[in-house]
Amino acid sequence: MTAETTKETIMTETSKDRVFIFDTTLRDGEQSPGATMTHAEKLEIAELLDDMGVDIIEAGFPIASEGDFRAVAEIAERSKSAVICGLARAQLPDIDRCWEAVKRAERPRIHTFIGTSPLHRAIPNLTQDEMAERIEQTVSHARNLCDNVQWSPMDATRTEWDYLRRVCEIAIKAGATTINIPDTVGYTAPRESAELIRRLIAEVPGGEDVIWATHCHNDLGMATANSLAAVEAGARQIECTINGLGERAGNTALEEVVMALRVRGDIMPYATDIDTRKIMQISRRVATVSGFPVQFNKAIVGKNAFAHESGIHQDGMLKNAETFEIMRPEDVGLAGTSLPLGKHSGRAALRAKLKDLGTEVGDNQLKDIFVRFKELADRKKEVFDDDILALVTATTDGDTNRLQLVNLKVVCGTGGPAEAVLEMEIDGQEYSATCTGDGPVDAAFKAVRQLHPNAARLQLYQVHAVTEGTDAQATVSVRLEEDGMIATGQSANTDTVVASVLAYIHALNRLLVRRGKTGSDVKEISYKDV
């Protein structure tokens, strides 16, 4: 099979204006400190990506841990339409392990990489010739296993031009069908990004027979701009993540490049197969499972992306929505109309509201959400859409419930230390503790630790109000680290202290699950990001 034939097989019935979306939320996104997902969460996100129309899903780094291998292998077996890709360093055992994980996919891909810039060549202490030899060996090995091979020169944008051109040619001759050009540290600018892709396509022998891809990081805030510039120069694959999740400042945000191509098709006439109406649903789900909330003013998926407070803006919107909106909320999966809910609303109305908000839940989860919705409706005058979404976020997603909150009372004020009286159920038995602390949350957390001793370190404690008013729900996010394992917990309640304890217990329950998996959810080796 020739490189040209393979390209046609990968990009079925394509035209020069088709851009392929390569999502690496489950690999690059999960590398963001604290964003580790459970096995079940990875499978769920992969299914959502596949259903949304993502072309290639980079499901993980199979040799990193047994947990990563199992997740990639199961995603490969469950895949419907998307190419399922695994990452492998330029080492034969990595590539073999990657192939074992993805080979059961209907459309598998091996993605192998090596750092080619002077800084990255110094890490394995390889000369240019030694690295070139390794590239030829490893890409050839990958191609002997799989017809669909992607190769990446890590830190390409800081690699000497002559050497970058040389190694890209070697990779193509060795059988790579996609050449990805990573801006690993977010160093480049749009003009440079475009020029680099343009020169590579024009000057690398065999460049016309492969797909050129771009992978941009957001360290200088230019990831989306750099990716779009690369597409205009001839790249036909964009590597990205949901919500721009990723190491440091993150990656190119899938929702940004997809909607930019859709809205500005007049100057960027390139198409994707993404069903944009599913963007909000997966954005919210990724935010929940990763523990990384979306900033309010985030493009496309932020809470304020379609909100208008200025009087002039509101007046314009009432007269013509296009005055201040360049896309419709419905285009990204937001409900166009509002169905008010209150304490007299039933399950059917709640399910319909959730569907309008882009969230589908099973019967058991709906039952749990409905109970808490009724409790909330009794406490609040008005239940907003964001309140309902917070209830969904606060579910335990099937994690173990060995630890459960039974009752909490706190006493605090200016007269002395705060006191928390906590009742918890642990493995079916009820226990109680009374602790003091520097504030009610500190006292309550101490009471939890007294009843359930643990060495988990609190990495993140974050509170934000879901809606306006003194009766607003507080959504609390907690991130814990213990022996290299990281777990996040979230909860929402009109009582901030109760929400805090519920989120803390949620995270502890997740740690209990991960202890029982012999570290399968923990990265067991260190590796660099592509």
pLDDT in tens, 83-120: 999 999 999 999 999 999 999 999 999 999 999 999 99
Residue 383 has pLDDT above 80, yes or no: no
Q: What is the mean pLDDT of the chain?
A: 86
Sign of the four-CA dihedral 137, 143, 145, 151? positive
Of residues 15 and 444, the one with the higher pLDDT is 444
Residue 356 has pLDDT above 90, yes or no: no
Structure tokens at 215: 């992978």
Give me the mean pLDDT over the 168-195 stretch: 98
Structure tokens at 285: 């789900």
Name the pLDDT band for 6 (thresholds 50, 70, 90).
very low
> Which overall architecture, per CATH, does domain 403-515 show?
2-Layer Sandwich (3.30)
Domain positions in the chain are 3-8+17-290, 304-334, 336-393, 403-515
Of residues 56 and 516, the one with the higher pLDDT is 56
Q: Residue type for 74, please? A: E
Name the pLDDT band for 70 (thresholds 50, 70, 90).
very high
CB 430 within 8 A of CB 406: yes
Structure tokens at 116: 């080619």
Residue 361 has pLDDT above 90, yes or no: no
pTM equals 0.77
Structure tokens at 447: 């009471």
Tell me what pLDDT residue 319 has.
62
| CA dist 337 → 160, 333, 341, 353 (Å) | 54, 12, 13, 10
Residue percentage of the chain with pLDDT more than 90:
59
Residue 12 has pLDDT above 50, yes or no: no
Of residues 308 and 430, the one with the higher pLDDT is 430
Residue 469 has pLDDT above 60, yes or no: yes
- Among candidates 164, 67, 179, which has minimal Cα distance to 115? 164
CB atoms within 10 A of CB 311: 8
Residue 315 has pLDDT above 70, yes or no: no
Residue 45 has pLDDT above 80, yes or no: yes
Tell me what pLDDT residue 46 has.
97
Residue 55 has pLDDT above 90, yes or no: yes
Residue percentage of the chain with pLDDT more than 70:
87
Tell me what pLDDT residue 518 has.
37
Residues 6+ apart with CB under 8 A from 202: none
Provide the annotated binding site for Mn(2+): 28, 215, 217, 251
Residues in the chain: 530
- Among candidates 1, 146, 12, 183, which has minimal Cα distance to 81? 12
Start-end of H helices in 53-185: 66-78, 92-102, 118-121, 128-145, 161-174
CATH of 3-8+17-290, one of 3.90.960.10, 1.25.40.10, 3.20.20.70, 3.30.750.80: 3.20.20.70
Residue with token string 């957390």: 445
Q: Is there a common fold for 3-8+17-290 and 403-515?
A: no
Least confident of 10-19, 73-82, 337-346, 408-417: 10-19
Name the pLDDT band for 462 (thresholds 50, 70, 90).
confident
* Strand order, beta sheet including 429-437: 403-411, 418-426, 429-437
Q: Residue type for 173, please? A: K
